[in-house]
Amino acid sequence: MFDLIAIATNLGLIIYLLVNALTKGIGAFSTNYVFIGYLIFTILTLPNLLSSVIFKAKMIGLSSALCFIYYPIQFLIAWGIGQALGVSFKEVLPLATVFTLVLWNILFLIFIFKNQKREDMSEGVIKDLIMGIIPAILIVLFTFILIRQPNSVVALDYFQHLTVPNRMFLDNILCITSNQCSGLFLQTGYTTFYHIILGNITTFLQIDPLKAFYVLDIIFPIIASIPIYAIFKKFTSSTIWSQVGVAVTLLIFVTGAYEFVFFIPQTFAILLFLMIVKEQRLSWWKLALAAILLFSTHFIIGAFLAVLLIGKRIIIENIHTKKGALSYTLILLISCIFFGFVNIAGFSIEKFVQTDTLATIGSFTNSYFPDNLQVIWNVLGSLSLIAVLAIIIGIFKRKFNQAFLIPFSFLMIGLICYFLAPTYANKFLLLSGLYATILTIEFLQSLQFKFLMKGFIASALIVICGIGYFVQYKNYLKFYTQDNGTVSAFVEKDRAIIDYLKINPPTPNTVIISDPYTQLMIESLANVPTVQAQYMQLKTRQNLLNYLIAPNPDTYESLLISPGVPKGTTNIEFLYSGRIFSSVANEDKGWLYNMYSLPLNNANIDIQAVSSLVEDQKRLNKNVYKISDNFLLFR
Amino acid sequence: MKNFYIKLLTIIVLILSVIISVKSYYSYTQDKNFQIINKKQSLIIQLSNGEYLEMTSKNDHISDGKDVDTKPFESLTSIQKSSSFQNSISTINAYSENVQSNENSRVVKVNPIDQTRILVEISANTKYTYTENQKYNIQVDYSNKVTFNDNNKDIIFEDKGCTVTIPNTTIEYKISENSQSIIFSQKYQLLETFRFYIDIYCK
C-alpha cells in the first residue's frame, strides 16, 4: 500500500508538471511552487536513493551521507565537459540539474520494483518514511499557517550564500571555498559543497530565489524528520514514541543553530551528522570519511560534530559497565557545572582570545550570565525540567544504557562549549533539543505507562514544546518586521534597483557602494560586486558616511582606500538608498558601530538633501539616475 | 513501588511544565504589544518592536509664549513608584509614579485596560503665578523619529510593525520639531490633569 501511495504521488506530480509545461511553458517552472518543492525534495533525497539502489546500503546511514558527494562530483564533471567542449557553466549546469531529476525518478522506480521481488523491502522502508514525515508535515503546517507570512524569507544567510553559486554559474568560476567566489564571508568557513547543492535548488535552473528559500523552509524540516525518526526508532523501537520524538525535536527552536528551520551550511552538516550518528561502531576509515565530509561542509560546526563522532567511537562505545558509565557521566556533569561557574565568573573565549574578531564585529556575539541561562531556558522551555528528571534518574539507573549515554554526552559537550563562549556560542546548543528529547522519550518509555496515559504524556510534551516554539519563532521574526508589518528580509521597495541592475550591470572593475543591507540585496539578487555587502567593515561604513555628509576630494579619497574595496577596482558607483537617507536625516548611526546593526526599512529620498553629493559626483563625470523613490544611482 | 513514585513524580513535573508553558504563552500574548517598565526615573511603555514611549516628568514645562519655559520637575526631591509586588497583592494592573520637586508634585498612572489599550492619567500640582496665555505642557516621547498622522482627532504613527494611536484627543497638542514627541497643552491651573488613552497594536 505504501509503495502505491509513493508511486501515485510521484506520478501525479509529474503529470501536473507536464500539463503545466504544456500550458504555461517551461519558463513558468521558475516560479511554480510545486516544481520548486519537487526539485528540492528530489535533490535532498537523491543521496538516500543512491545509497540504497546503487550501493545496496541503508537508506539512512553513513553511505547516504557520503552520497551527497554526488553534487560536487556532478559539478566537477560539468566543469570538465565545459572545459573540453568550450562551453560555459550556464549551458552545462542546467542540464546537470535536469539529469538529477531524471536520475531520481529512475532510482525511485528501481527501488520500488526491485524490492518487490525480494520480500517487498521497499514497502517497509516507505512506511517508515511516511510515519516519520507525518509529524513533520503537521509542524510545517502549524508553522506556515500560524507563524510565517506567505513568501517570507527570514534568514539573511540565504542571500549571503546565494552569491557563491551565482558567481560560479554566471561568471564561470570554479571555487573550492566560498571566499574564492565572494567577498561576503569574513572568514574561510566552508567549502562550496553546500553552495553547489544550493545552486541546484536555485541558480542552475534560474529558479526565483525568494520562492526557493520559502519552499526550502517548508521542505527541509520534512527531510530532516527522516533521520530523526530513524534515530528515535533505533532507541525506542516504537513507532508512536518515535513520532512524538520527531514532533518534539522539530518543535525546539534553537536561536543561532536553526537546525531544522533553515537549510544553511551548519544545518546541512547537522543533517549529515544525523544520518551518520545512527550507525553503530563505525570502522576507523569510515569514521575518517565521515569527519572529512562534515568538515568540508562547515569548518567549525562540521569539525565539532566530527569530534562528537570520534568521541562516541573512542569513549562511549567502549564503556560496557554500569560503574564505568556512572564515572563517565559524573565527570561530564561536573565539568559542565565547572565551566558554567567559570562563565559566571566572567571568562569567555571571545572576551579573552578573540578580541580581534570582536573589534571587527563591533560587539559581543554571546549573552552572559544570567542572560545566557535564560537563553537555554528559552530554547528548551519547561521540557528541560523533564529532561533534568530523566538525567537524574538515568544516572542512577541500575542498568547500563547507550540510549542514555550518547545524547547525555553530546548535550553536556554542547553546553560546555556554550559556556566557554567562543564567538557565536549559541551554535553549540545545536541538537540540544534532539538530545533532551531522546533522554526524555527514552525515560518516559521506560516507565511503561498505559495507553491513555501515553496519549496524555505525548500531548503534554507537544503542548509544552509547541508553545515554546511559537514564542521563540515569533520573537526571532521581530528583526524581519518591516514598517508596513510585512515580515521578511526582502523589502519589496528593493525590487526596482535589483531589476535595474540585472538589465544594466556595472562595467568590469566597478563596484557599487551603498548601505550594507542594500549591498547584500543587490549582490545576491542582481549579482553585482559590492564592498563586502552586509559585512562592510566599520571603518569603511564611517568613511562612506563621511563622504555622503561632506562630499569632497578628501573624503572620496579616504573612501577609495577603505578596507574591503576589492583590489583592481577602477570605478565606484554610489547607490544612495532610502536607508542611507534616513540614517543621515535621523542621525541613526547604529550601523557604524555594529556589523549586525542593519536597518531593514527603506525610506523615500528627498533629492534636495543630496544636492552636494550630486555636485561632487559631477566632478567625477557621474550622472545621477533616479531608479525609484528609494534609490539614486550615480553612474 | 519505586516505579510508582517515579511515575507520579514524572506526571507532577509534566503537569508543572504544561502550566509553566501556558503561563509563558499568556505572558507572551500580554507582552505582545507592550510592557510597562516602572523603574528608575521614568515610566516606560516598551513596545514589542524594540522602541518605547516615555512620559517623563522632566519634560513637563510651563509656557506663556514669551519667556523661557519653566520646567517644574527638572530636579526631583522625591520619587515613589508602585512596585510589581504591590500590584500583585492588590490584584490591580496599574503602574504609578509620584514625583516631587520641592512644593510641586506630579502623579502619573498608567493602567493597561487590555492587551492593546492603556489609560494614562497625569496630574500635576504646581504653584506658579498665573500669567496670560500660560499653558502647562506634557510630553509623550517616542524613542524613534516617526511620521505622525492626524485622523479625526486620533494621533497615529506607525513604526516597525507597531501602530500607536492616541484616540479621540480633545486636548490641544503639537508635534515636536524632531518628530519624536507629542506635546499636550492645557491652560495652566494649579491642579492640572491630563487623561488620554494609548492604543498599541503590533503585528
Q: Per residue, what are the HEC states of A25-94?
A: CHHHHHHCHHHHHHHHHHHHHHHHHHHHHHCCCCCCCHHHHHHHHHHHHHHHHHHHHHHHHCCCHHHHHH
Give me the percent of chain B exceeding a pLDDT of 70.
Answer: 90
Over its C-alpha atoms, chain B yields an Rg (Å, rounded) of: 21
Residues of A in contact with B13 (CB under 8 A): 385-386, 389
pLDDT(A582) > 90:
no
For residues A442 and A388, the answer to whether their CB atoms sit within 8 Å is: no
pLDDT(A509) > 60:
yes
- If phi > 0 it is left, if psi is from -120 to 50 it is alpha, else beta; for residue A78 that is alpha
Say what the pLDDT of residue A118 is: 58
Q: What is the 3-state secondary structure (H, E, C) of B146-197?
A: CCCEEECCEEEEEECCEEEEECCCCCEEEECCCCCEEEEEEECCCEEEEEEE
* Three cell numbers, residue A85: 567542449
In degrees, rounded to 5, the angle at the alpha carbon of residue A429 between the alpha carbons of residues A371 and A391 is 95
Say what the pLDDT of residue A256 is: 86
pLDDT(A585) > 50:
yes
| Interface membership of B160 toward A (CB under 8 Å) | yes
- What is the 8-class DSSP label of residue B119? E
Contact A460 B15 (CB under 8 A): yes
Q: Tell me how close the Cα of A586 comes to any Cα of chain B, in angstroms.
A: 7
Q: Which residue of B has its CA nearest to A480?
A: B160
Say what the pLDDT of residue A203 is: 94
Q: Which pLDDT tens digit goes with each residue over A454-494?
A: 999 999 999 999 999 999 998 888 788 787 778 999 999 99
* Residues paired with residue A632 on neighbouring β-strands, in sequence order: A576, A626
Residues of A in contact with B24 (CB under 8 A): 381-382, 467-468, 471
pLDDT(B123) > 80:
yes
Residue among B109, B102, B107 nearest B127 (CA): B102
* Three cell numbers, residue A444: 518516559
Q: Tell me how close the Cα of A394 comes to any Cα of chain B, in angstroms.
A: 12
* Residue B91 binned pLDDT confidence (cut-offs 50, 70, 90): very low
Say what the pLDDT of residue B7 is: 92
For residues A60 and A226, the answer to whether their CB atoms sit within 8 Å is: yes
Contact A483 B161 (CB under 8 A): yes
Burial of A165 (0-12, 13-18, 19+ CB in 10 A): buried
* Residue of B21, B164, B200, B202 for testing the chain A interface, max A β-carbons within 10 Å: B21
Burial of A495 (0-12, 13-18, 19+ CB in 10 A): middle
CA separation for the pair A595, A534 (Å, rounded): 8
- What is the 8-class DSSP label of residue A506? P
Residues of B in contact with A485 (CB under 8 A): 161, 203
* Residues paired with residue B187 on neighbouring β-strands, in sequence order: B135
CA separation for the pair A231, A243 (Å, rounded): 11
Say what the pLDDT of residue A1 is: 74
Say what the pLDDT of residue B90 is: 43
pLDDT(B88) > 50:
no
* Three cell numbers, residue B134: 500660560
Say what the pLDDT of residue B158 is: 87
* Residue A24 binned pLDDT confidence (cut-offs 50, 70, 90): confident
SS3 A260: coil
Give me the percent of chain A exceeding a pLDDT of 70.
Answer: 98
Provide long-range contacts, Cβ within 8 A and 24+ apart, for B81-86. Answer: B81/B38, B81/B39, B81/B43, B82/B38, B84/B38
Helix axes A70-85, A89-117, angle to 10 degrees: 140
Q: Which pLDDT tens digit goes with each residue over A182-224?
A: 888 877 889 999 999 999 999 999 999 999 999 999 999 999 9
Contact B158 A483 (CB under 8 A): yes
Contact A386 B22 (CB under 8 A): no
Q: Which pLDDT tens digit goes with each residue over A69-93?
A: 999 999 999 999 999 998 999 999 9
CA separation for the pair A143, A466 (Å, rounded): 10
* Residue A27 binned pLDDT confidence (cut-offs 50, 70, 90): confident
Residues of B in contact with A378 (CB under 8 A): none
**Chain B from 64 to 93: CB within 8 A of any A CB:** none
| Interface membership of B23 toward A (CB under 8 Å) | no
Residues of A in contact with B18 (CB under 8 A): 382, 460, 463-464
pLDDT(A620) > 90:
no
CA separation for the pair A274, A265 (Å, rounded): 14
In degrees, rounded to 5, the angle at the alpha carbon of residue A450 between the alpha carbons of residues A444 and A454 is 50
* Residue A121 binned pLDDT confidence (cut-offs 50, 70, 90): low
CA separation for the pair A76, B28 (Å, rounded): 51
Say what the pLDDT of residue B28 is: 78
Which residues does A451 contact at the CB level (< 8 Å), separation at least 6? none
For residue A626, the surrounding DSSP H or E stretch is strand A624-628
- Could you tell me the maximum CA-CA distance found in chain B, to the nearest angstrom? 86
Give me the percent of chain A exceeding a pLDDT of 90.
Answer: 60
Contact A467 B25 (CB under 8 A): yes
* Residue of B26, B33, B145, B160 for testing the chain A interface, max A β-carbons within 10 Å: B160
Q: Which residue of A has its CA nearest to B9?
A: A389
pLDDT(B67) > 80:
no
pLDDT(B89) > 50:
no
* Residues paired with residue B95 on neighbouring β-strands, in sequence order: B110
| Interface membership of B145 toward A (CB under 8 Å) | yes
| Interface membership of B20 toward A (CB under 8 Å) | yes
Say what the pLDDT of residue B86 is: 46
Q: Which pLDDT tens digit goes with each residue over A381-426?
A: 899 999 999 999 988 876 777 778 999 999 999 999 999 989 888 8
Say what the pLDDT of residue A119 is: 59
Q: Which residue of A has its CA nearest to B180?
A: A586
* Residue of B1, B6, B17 for testing the chain A interface, max A β-carbons within 10 Å: B17
pLDDT(A495) > 90:
yes
Say what the pLDDT of residue A531 is: 92
Contact B160 A468 (CB under 8 A): no
For residues B65 and B137, the answer to whether their CB atoms sit within 8 Å is: no
* Residue of A448, A450, A481, A482 for testing the chain B interface, max B β-carbons within 10 Å: A481
Say what the pLDDT of residue B93 is: 59
Say what the pLDDT of residue A123 is: 74
Please state which of the ranges A359-368, A559-568, B14-23, B81-90 shows the lowest mean pLDDT: B81-90
- Report the mean per-residue pLDDT for chain B: 83
Q: Tell me how close the Cα of A64 comes to any Cα of chain B, in angstroms.
A: 37
pLDDT(B87) > 70:
no
pLDDT(A296) > 70:
yes
Q: Which residue of B has its CA nearest to A443?
A: B10
Residues of B in contact with A478 (CB under 8 A): 48-50, 161
CA separation for the pair A273, A276 (Å, rounded): 5
Say what the pLDDT of residue A383 is: 93
Say what the pLDDT of residue A308 is: 95
Contact B50 A601 (CB under 8 A): no
| Interface membership of B18 toward A (CB under 8 Å) | yes
Which value does ipTM take for this structure? 0.84
